[in-house]
Amino acid sequence: MDTSETFQVQFKGNAQTYFGIWIVNLLLTIVTFGIYSAWAKVRTKKYFAQNTSIDGRRFDYHATGKQILIGRLIVGGGYIAMNVLFSIAPIVGGALFVAFMFAVPYLINRSIAFNARMTSFSGIRFGFTGSYWRAVLVYFVYPFLSLLTLYLTMPFVSRAQHRYYVSRHRYGTAQFAFDSKVGPFYKAFLLAVAWVVGISVVGIVVVAAMIFGSPAVMLDLLSAEADGNDLGIGHIIGMGLFSVLILIAILPAGYIYQAYLRNAVYAGASVAGGHSFTSVVKPAKLLWIALSNAAIVVVTIGLMHPWARVRMARYMAASTYITVEGSMDGIVGEEQEKVSALGDAFTDFEGIDVDFAL
């Protein structure tokens, strides 16, 4: 029998309760000189996971503060040791740094695996099986090759990365799969590029016409700057123009890309048993939420961060659907495997983001 049913992802968190968690986390982190941050991270992740549900079945997060702290101590210790070594013996430090680069794909895999393993849905944990050489290929070799094509092949790289990420995940014993044409990835890429180019051209012409009368004068000013003669006023105008350009050209392009990319990735993903996903994030809406969030957070010197984060989580959840083939019941979990928090702490520290956004 073929009955399929579609559910919208629900997020039930609210700004008030998360504000309390957030500010108490922050206070305890400060008074413990950062040590509590490991437990704070767990509490935050639990809050967001437990308040996210599909058809009344919850997500959950299972790492312990102690696990996270140990991972962070190792990574933080390594970071300090590396810096100290750099200042004692820069040549040895440099050589060691190159050696360390070879560990990065391994750490990325550990990080994805740790996060998968520590997340559960409907009582069953996720899992991830990485491959060192596939990770080297999709995260390092492919991006480098695409650089040689002036990034014109970036959508292929992006598709390869998401295929690697999605299809190596499991839900219990049910394997994820990823199958997508490259078209949707090109759509995301080209629309973002078109936005940047279009706005930049319009912006430069308009601004130059307004301030300097003609574009030629501005080029003059820019080259004067390069000579380092008078950095003062030219520098400040340059910085101002640059931030405006970032605000209206690059930032929106980032969200356009992110929105279409997410929709493409969800459309291509499925789980054994025929369950599939749909993401209907709208770039304009995403951009609006992100920009107004940023503005409000800045104006309130950070105090509205919880509200902003909850608002974004709610929009992301509401834009996500899962179509279940038959039932979500009956999926079997797998034996516990040991995972260390080391890789997780590494990506945390270095700000590498291998997640696709949910």
Partner 1 sequence: MTLPSNHYGQNNFGAVDGYAYAAQLSTRVSARLLRDAQGLRLVDQAGETLCTGAPSERERISGGPCLMTFGTAWTFDTDDIQGVELLLGPSDDDWLSSLEVWHPRLFAVVAGCLIGVLIIWKWGLDILVAGAIALTPTGFVSTIDTGNLAAMDRFLTAPTELSQSDQDMVRDIFAAIKDHAPYAPYGDYTLEFRKADVIGPNAFALPGGTVVVTDALVNDFNDPNIIAGILGHELAHVSERHSLRQLYRSLSVYVLIAMMAGDVGPILEDVLLEGSALASLAYSRDHEASADVIGIKTSHAAGYDPAALAEFFEQLTEDYGESGPEWMSTHPSNAERIETIKKLAAEQ
Cα–Cα distance, 174 to 304 (Å, whole number)? 39
326 φψ region: left (φ > 0), alpha (ψ -120 to 50), beta (else): left
- Nearer to partner 1 by Cβ, of 57 and 285: the residue is 57
Instruction: Indicate which single residue of 11, 72, 255, 313 sits in contact with partner 1 (rule: CB under 8 A).
Output: 72
Q: Which of residues 253-282 bind partner 1 (CB under 8 A)?
A: none
Stretch that binds partner 1, among 1-9, 74-82, 205-213, 279-287 (CB under 8 A): 74-82
* CB of residue 328 to partner 1, shortest distance in Å: 6
* CB of residue 43 to partner 1, shortest distance in Å: 6
Q: Which of residues 91-130 bind partner 1 (CB under 8 A)?
A: 91-92, 121-124
Q: Is 148 in the site for partner 1 (CB under 8 A)?
A: no
Residues 6 or more apart in contact with residue 7 via CB below 8 angstroms: 54, 55, 321, 322, 323, 324
The pattern of x and - marking residues 20 through 59 that bind partner 1 according to CB under 8 A reads xxxxxxxx-xxx-xxx-x--xx-xx-xx--xx----xxx-
* CB of residue 332 to partner 1, shortest distance in Å: 6
Q: Which of residues 287-306 bind partner 1 (CB under 8 A)?
A: 294, 297-298, 302-303, 305
Residues 196, 250 contacting (CB under 8 angstroms): yes
- Nearer to partner 1 by Cβ, of 81 and 284: the residue is 81
Site size toward partner 1, by CB under 8 A: 72
Burial bucket for residue 60 (CB in 10 Å: 0-12, 13-18, 19+): middle
Straight-line distance from the first to the last Cα atom of the chain, in angstroms, rounded to the nearest whole number: 31
* CB of residue 290 to partner 1, shortest distance in Å: 10
* CB of residue 22 to partner 1, shortest distance in Å: 7
Q: Which of residues 304-323 bind partner 1 (CB under 8 A)?
A: 305, 308-309
Question: In residues, how long is the chain?
Answer: 358
Burial bucket for residue 8 (CB in 10 Å: 0-12, 13-18, 19+): middle
Instruction: Indicate which single residue of 2, 3, 87, 223 sits in contact with partner 1 (rule: CB under 8 A).
Output: 87
Residue reference for tokens 């951009």 = 287
Q: Which of residues 2-21 bind partner 1 (CB under 8 A)?
A: 13-14, 16-21
Residues 29, 37 contacting (CB under 8 angstroms): yes
- Nearer to partner 1 by Cβ, of 190 and 236: the residue is 236
| DSSP structural state of residue 56 | T
- Nearer to partner 1 by Cβ, of 99 and 229: the residue is 229
Cα–Cα distance, 49 to 47 (Å, whole number)? 6
Cα–Cα distance, 347 to 39 (Å, whole number)? 17
* CB of residue 194 to partner 1, shortest distance in Å: 26
